[in-house]
């Protein structure tokens, strides 16, 4: 699945509000651009995505049935 297909899936399933899926979309887009980026830029963007993922924390605790 490429980033366009993933984005369409997120829209069709009303998953655009699920932050962990938006992280997945960002990772997919980064993967697709990797060959056209410098290693430094790639690592910097990857670290930015990782930090955003870590910032999500455990927001899902107690509502697992609703969000997963």
Per-residue pLDDT of the chain (68 residues; tens, 9 = 90+): 999 999 999 999 999 888 889 999 999 999 999 999 999 999 999 999 999 989 888 877 888 888 77
Q: What is the pLDDT of residue 18?
A: 87
DSSP, collapsed to helix, strand or coil, labels residue 19 as helix
d(CA 68, CA 55): 19
Q: What is the pLDDT of residue 68?
A: 72
Q: What is the pLDDT of residue 9?
A: 95
Contacts of 23 (CB under 8 A, 6+ apart): 49, 52, 53, 56
Rounded to the nearest 10 degrees, how much is the dihedral formed by the CA atoms of 11, 16, 21, 22?
110
DSSP 18: -
């Amino acid at each position: 699945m490429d980033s366009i297909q993933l984005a369409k899936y997120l829209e069709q399933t009303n998953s655009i509000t699920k932050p962990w899926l938006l992280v997945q979309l960002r990772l997919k887009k980064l993967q697709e651009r990797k060959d056209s980026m410098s290693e430094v830029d790639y690592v910097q963007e990857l670290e930015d995505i990782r930090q955003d993922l870590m910032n999500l924390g455990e927001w899902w605790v107690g509502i697992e049935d609703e969000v997963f």
